[in-house]
Amino acid sequence: MTPGKDFTPYAPRPATLVRKVRLSDFVTLFEFEQDNGRPLAHKPGQFIQVSVYGVGEAPFSISSRPKAGTNSFEIAVRNIGSVTSALHALPVGAKVGIRGPFGSYFPVQEFVGKDTLFVAGGLGYIPLRSLLRYQLRHRDEFGRIMLLIGTRSPSERIFVDEIEKLSQRDDIEVMETVDCVGDSCWQGNVGVITTLLPKVRLDVENTYVAMVGPPVMYRFVIGACVGDQCISPERIYVSLERKMKCGLGKCGHCQINGVSACVSGPVFRYTDIEPLKEAL
């Protein structure tokens, strides 16, 4: 192949499934290696398109941190549709096609020297994990790291062992809550994720917010961050990755008032999408 002509955003590249880890009843972590031996070269917050041969293609957030010198990367996927079901059924060693990485990303350099408040609702921890693990890898470059996680029930928590290890570190503050306990033996916080915010003492002049979750969470958490905590809306970043489809701004599936979220997003500064009525 002619040098410089070996990449097209339309053509999937082969990759091999090298590891699967069950995270909950419906969510599994997948580790892949690109067959070309090259790093994925992604940024925290970006996504890729994964093709399961003979079934179809779907977009997934990249959950691992950028790593030079390795061709492996991770995604975590909920089993909810035809492509995701086929992906869950793949054995280790199976081949898939990947395109990307695509989209915007969290402005890591803007966060250097600042505090970061991570707010993860539901499966929002999956894309935030890439930024979080990058900051932990380069811990000296960043200020306080605070992680708030909210899930609907204890059985829907993901990365449970990993979050438990994070909570034992003295260089990151971790709080979790669940909306309802049900018949579990959960002994932690109960309530929506906004109930955690008053428990965090923030240096509002020095704090950035990175947030991923369902739309209803955005409205309430942003309201609390801006209204109650007095954090500047300019320092709040959200991801609209849930709306992705083709990854190239061609299909129109992710358009928000004329803005293609897969090209201009998925990561947006809040003030850039605040005027868009359909965004949140």
Q: pLDDT over 90 for what percent of the chain?
A: 75
Encode pLDDT of 19-73 as tens digits. Answer: 999 999 999 999 999 999 999 999 999 999 999 999 999 999 999 999 988 999 9
H/E/C letters for each residue in 39-101? CCCCCCCCEEEEEECCCEEEEEECCCCCCCCCCEEEEEEECCCHHHHHHHHCCCCCEEEEEEE
**CA-based nearest residue to 269, from 243, 244, 242, 234:** 234
Kindly give, in sequence order, each residue whose CB lies less than 8 Å from that of residue 210, ignoring residues fewer than 6 positions away: 106, 111, 116, 117, 118, 119, 128, 131, 237
Give pLDDT tens digits for 64-103.
999 988 999 999 999 999 999 999 999 999 999 999 999 9
Asked whether the whole model's pTM tops 0.85, one would answer yes
226-231 long-range CB contacts below 8 Å, 24 or more apart?
A: 228/197, 228/198, 229/197, 229/202, 229/204, 230/204, 231/202, 231/204, 231/207
CA distance 10 to 100: 9
Average pLDDT of span 108-122: 96
Arithmetic mean of pLDDT, 220-241? 89
Q: Using pLDDT thresholds of 50, 70 and 90, give the confidence band for residue 1.
A: very low
3-state secondary structure of 169: coil
